Amino acid sequence: MAEQPIEPIHQFKITNIFDIGTFGGDGTTGGIHLAFTNSALFMVLTVGAIGLFLIWGSARRAIVPGRTQLMAEMAYEFVANMVRTTAGHEGMKFFPLVFSLFMFILVANLFGMFPYFFTVTSQIIVTAMMALLVFFTVVIYGFYKNGLKFLKLFVPPGIPIYILPLVVVIEIISFLSRPLSHSLRLWGNMLAGHIVLKVFGGMVVALLAAGAWGIVSIAPFAMAVALTGLEFLVSALQAFVFAVLTCVYLHDAMHPGH
Amino acid sequence: MDPEAAKLMGKLIGAGIACIGMGGAGVGVGVIFGNYLSGALRNPAAAAAQFSNLIFGFAVTEALGIFSLVIAFLLLYAV
């Protein structure tokens, strides 16, 4: 215990696997330091796992599907149904974006549940980049498709004229805070879940070191097992939530009037 | 009191206070799921179609709890 304190946030530390080098700067300040980190390694692993799964699943294309093909088709149908119900049939042109985001987040979250694996989605930079991608897709496509009518998004119909300025300000603030809440939700859930798991694991270790009272460590151990189950649920749920919100925002981009 | 110790004390107390905000998110999530359940029991046929609305409301409400968690983390590790 004394020589190695249990640190619940140590698991999120980014380490360099191999350095690529520093570009620009004068050696002491500035410059961009590029390195292949454990975060990058697990992003590559995530993409590789998804690619293998989908390529393998669609390689045979039998009329009576095998197990892998069935799973790949279920994943496709699940996301396609979600896009159709929340973004409309028109939204199916964004199906590749939503499917990629859903599969990446789902597999990255589930990878994070393996012991000693790095959780990519517990890094705010990763979730922020995905949320900003969605945000700018919505803004650019909204203006491209609707022109200036896209600004009707900020003017809800049926509002009395005397409180309209206040509502417009609130709508603009809520629109601009979307990428913030979109990214923080996924990041916060993964970070908090993994910290809680480590805290309960640390309690088990601390109680086992306490001699005869070690028998009490069964309680936090049972809690850690239950929380692991909950974390699997949260992993899938947060991937679903991220994809549903992407669809809702895309629906706004296509139909800003209502 | 030593200024460093006072700063640490303020950080820890502030992080604890920030976590109170999660109680509000807990109430909100409870209201959403409770109302969904009572609605689903009255009209089970319509329940499945509202599932994605349920998840959407849950996600939007839960984000507010996550914000207070973020404030707690900022106080603990970034101040």
Share of chain A above pLDDT 90, in %: 47
Q: Name the 3-class secondary structure at A219.
A: helix
Q: At B30, list the tokens.
A: 């409870």
* Whether the predicted model's global pTM rises above the 0.90 cut: no
Query: Do the Cβ atoms of B60 and A181 come within 8 Å?
Result: yes
Query: Do the Cβ atoms of A184 and B63 come within 8 Å?
Result: yes
**In chain B, what residues touch A184 (CB-CB under 8 Å)?**
63, 66-67, 70
Q: Where are the domains of chain A?
A: 10-254
- What residues of A are in the B interface, CB distance below 8 Å? 9, 82, 85-86, 181, 184-185, 188-189, 191-192, 237, 240-241, 244-245, 248
Query: Do the Cβ atoms of A188 and B77 come within 8 Å?
Result: no
Query: Do the Cβ atoms of A184 and B59 come within 8 Å?
Result: no
Closest residue in B to A82 (Cα) is B52
**A141-150: long-range contacts, CB 8 A cutoff, minimum separation 24:** A141/A250, A141/A253, A141/A254, A142/A252, A142/A253, A142/A254, A142/A256, A145/A253, A145/A254, A146/A256, A149/A256, A149/A257, A150/A253, A150/A256
Predicted confidence at residue B53, as pLDDT, reads 84
Using CB atoms within 10 A of its CB, is residue A243 exposed (0-12), middle (13-18) or buried (19+)? Answer: buried
- Scanning A116-217, the segments in alpha helix (DSSP H) are 124-146, 164-176, 178-208
How far does Cα A199 stand from its chain's mean position? 23
Choice among A24-38, A145-159, A239-253, B28-42 with the minimum mean pLDDT: A24-38
Q: Choose between B6 and A62: higher pLDDT.
A: B6
Place of tokens 């409309």: A88
Q: What is the DSSP letter of A89?
A: G
